[in-house]
């Protein structure tokens, strides 16, 4: 089986909440993604990134995996490049996220996030 590159969100400046575009993964048996995030750790960030799948680009969408990252947390450790192997997905995949700063009086309104990886192409 061959591997193909899949980009759900090109790395760059993002709003604190958002959703990426739908990506066709219908020819792929397994998808492995890496979440790359850069934030101000001094502001006590709490980042949730989740993956949704659907039979078509218009839905209906359902969540298949959620990752939470918080610096200093043993339950949700922060990893600047967190690898995620996704469970079985339908024909389309997209990523959504939400970042909040728990101890910030004037938190930043943007941060850097990217989600990409590889997919094993079905034979």
Q: Is the pTM of this model over 0.75?
A: yes
Residue 39 CA to residue 59 CA, distance in Å, equals: 31
Where do the structural domains in the chain lie, given as residue ranges?
Answer: 3-110
Length of the chain as a residue count? 123
Q: What pLDDT sits at residue 72?
A: 79
Please state which CATH number belongs to domain 3-110: 2.60.120
Q: Residue 20 in contact with residue 95, Cβ under 8 Å?
A: yes
Residue 27 near residue 120 (C-beta atoms within 8 A): no
pLDDT per residue rounded down to tens, the chain (123 residues): 688 899 999 999 999 999 999 999 988 878 999 999 988 777 889 999 999 999 999 999 999 999 999 887 777 777 678 899 998 889 999 999 999 998 877 888 889 999 999 988 776
Give the pLDDT confidence score for residue 93 in this predicted structure.
96
What is the Cα gyration radius of the chain?
15
């Amino acid at each position: 089986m061959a591997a193909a590159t899949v980009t759900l969100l090109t790395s760059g400046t993002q709003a604190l909440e958002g959703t990426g575009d739908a990506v066709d993964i219908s020819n792929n048996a397994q998808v492995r993604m890496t979440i790359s995030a850069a934030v101000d750790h001094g502001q006590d960030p709490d980042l949730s990134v989740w993956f949704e799948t659907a039979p078509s680009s218009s839905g209906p969408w359902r969540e298949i995996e959620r990752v939470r990252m918080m610096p200093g947390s043993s339950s949700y450790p922060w990893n600047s490049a967190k690898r995620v192997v996704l469970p079985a997905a339908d024909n389309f995949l997209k990523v959504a996220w939400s970042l909040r700063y728990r101890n910030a009086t004037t938190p930043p309104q943007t941060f850097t996030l990217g989600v990409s990886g590889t997919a094993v192409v079905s034979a």
